[in-house]
Amino acid sequence: MVFVNSMSDLFHKDVPWTYVDKVFDVMEEANWHIYQVLTKRSSLLRDYVNNRYKGDPVPPHIWLGVSVENRQSLSRIAHLRQANASIRFLSVEPLLEQLGKVDLSGLNWVIVGGESGRGARPMGADWVRSMRDQCTASGVAFFFKQWGAFNNEGQRGSKHENGRELDGRTWDELPMRLAELKIS
């Protein structure tokens, strides 16, 4: 698995479309890898892939996702749902507040994690459980990445100390379609 632009955003307004084209050309050609493309610029992602693939889905080894950290960013999900994607995912990291009921239709995977680093804010355990329970009810794979700088009781510690267990287990689910991919 390759996380494309893990420390940047391929759909940032200053990234030229010719560069984005080259990245997609390489991903298409190297189809033995799974690529995760994550953005906060959901409408640009939607418009780009719908133009590039003109009604056909993005190849299934290229997964498209959007970041959703709070209720204000929930609108990104609609843009992702409108993209001609084979695999759609949410990165709910850092989860900064209770999101409430989230429409997960058309999504394959949700990743949830807490914030880490010097200025990290705590994440409520009930916020994580809510997302997990919604994923389970909707048949969407759930991956709990980490508690971050605060554990499930709100106490500060390192992300390694705080770990990634939720209610006594780790949640490492991947999209069901992963098993269907024919990686050559």
Give residue 155's pLDDT. Answer: 86
pLDDT in the model for residue 184: 44
At a CB cut-off of 8 Å and minimum separation 6, what does 177 contact?
Answer: 60, 86, 87, 108
pLDDT for residue 182: 53
Contacts of 95 (CB under 8 A, 6+ apart): 69, 112, 113, 114, 123, 127, 128, 131
DSSP state of 134: H
Structure tokens at 170: 């780790």
Q: Is 2-180 a CATH 3.80.30 domain?
A: yes
Q: Is the pLDDT of residue 179 over 60?
A: no
Q: Which amino acid is at 105?
A: S
The per-residue pLDDT of the chain, averaged, comes to: 93
Q: Is the pLDDT of residue 113 over 70?
A: yes
CA angle (110 as vertex; 135, 58 as ends), nearest 5: 115
CB 124 within 8 A of CB 148: no
Quote the pLDDT of residue 177: 57
Confidence class for position 178, pLDDT limits 50, 70, 90: low
Cα 5 from Cα 64, distance rounded (Å):
12
Contact status, residue 106 vs residue 81, Cβ threshold 8 Å: yes
pLDDT confidence of 26, banded at 50, 70, 90? very high
Residue ranges per structural domain of the chain: 2-180
At 157, is the pLDDT very low, low, confident or very high (cuts 50, 70, 90)? confident
Per-residue pLDDT tens over the stretch 35-48: 999 999 999 999 99
Question: What is the C-alpha separation between 2 and 19, in angstroms, rounded?
Answer: 18
Q: What is the pLDDT of residues 76-97, one digit of tens each?
A: 999 999 999 999 999 999 999 9
